[in-house]
Amino acid sequence: MRCYYCRSKKVVKYGKRKTKYKLKQLYGCNNCKRKFVEEKDYERLKGGKKINLIIKDLHSRGLSLRDISHHLEKCHNINLHHSNVLRRTRR
Ligand SMILES: [Zn+2]
């Protein structure tokens, strides 16, 4: 387990955060002092804000989630499951 921000290994468990669906493990970094959730959750942050904008744009133009997911893979080399695409249209 490494810090999401600085890739430091000085990471400690920081308790849990309750979401609608499940409990998520929270971690704190002793190097940069930031907090983040477990690794698998980063899936939905792939590509950052730029990709979020593209997703929202395509979505507002009526493309299906699968089409958007396909477009991201072809044009931006980003693999996002369409359920993650859906989540990002709501951000
Ligand atoms: Zn850090």
Q: How many A from CA of 70 to the centre of ligand 1?
A: 33
Strands 23-29 and 35-37: antiparallel
pLDDT of residue 16: 80
- Higher-scoring residue by pLDDT: 31, 77: 31
Percent of the chain with pLDDT over 90: 38
Name the pLDDT band for 41 (thresholds 50, 70, 90).
Answer: very low
pLDDT tens for 13-27 read 988 877 776 777 889
Q: Which residue has the tokens 């369409």?
A: 82
- 14 contact partners, CB below 8 Å, separation of at least 6: 26, 27, 28, 35
Distance set, CA 65 to CA 7, 27, 29, 33 (Å): 32, 31, 35, 36
Which residues are close to ligand 1, an ion, with C-beta < 5 A? 3, 5-6, 8, 29, 31-32
* Token code pair at residue 46: 């792939």
